[in-house]
Structure 1
Amino acid sequence: MISHPVKYKGQLYLDGGLTTPIPIDKAFEDGCDKVIVVLTRDRKYNKPKLKCLPLIKLRLREFPKLASLMERHHVIYKENQQKIEKYEKEGKAIIIAPKMPLKIDRFEKNPDKLMDVYEEGVKDGEIFLKEKFEKFFKISIEEYQNNKKI
């Protein structure tokens, strides 16, 4: 386990990404009618099953529901991907994602490699602004910048 539980008002909490990797339904519940989803993995990414599951289950023996959740996390992630793709087809969401798998590890520390990935993300964001913003929000970028309303 990477993160540690945080105690808040007498309860232990963990990263919500375990249950909802991309909380798009919460955005709609909170009143959004359109959502921009920025992925850090390409669209075809399949989260693998955890390789160290026996060790995780041992470490989380006091929290069997959490261990069970982690065992299913790759399935939950896939279901979440399918949900955001459904919303995209319905015109309620737009997905910005790397075109190809990133050439870095999730714990990458090499500044040059991180900068390369960052610059790639900036380019993808610029493409979104040029090609998709106005169509998705039905307002020009200039109008948005002047009026600040979508």
Structure 2
Amino acid sequence: MNANNIADPVQLALSFLERVWGPSHDLNAIDELMTEDYTITTGGATITGRNEFKEWVRTFQQKLADAITVSHETIRSEAGDRVISRWICSGKNNGIFGLPADGRNVAFTGIAIWSVRDNRLAACWVERSALELYQKIKHDHS
């Protein structure tokens, strides 16, 4: 795929983070920014399909109230068909990772690697510091 046929992957990724993971939590932006067969692989699981992804985000945002993700660095591949973002997600613990909800502020870091197809985000692979946050919350509740 030639880079001229690809939307700016950095702008796609930043728009996704701002609109879906920003204060507005605009889940309808997923329909605009992601392909219909969008997949995300995170935490050892793969979510397939835009609607399934939207439901996954909705559920996650319920467990991490007021969730906000801020990109600290984005890198575009030379071909323009990939973008990598290093980010921090924060919010209030409302039962994240199945732990007791206590309403306190929590945060974790992550890296997302997206592929771009047809001027939309098509797939994502996410690595996040979920284990470290889980251990911290669990330890604090012990």
Tell me, yes or no, whether TM beats 0.5.
Answer: no
TM-score by length of 1: 0.23
Q: Relative to total residues, which structure has the larger helix share, 1 or 2?
A: 1
Q: Relative to total residues, which structure has the larger strand share, 1 or 2?
A: 2
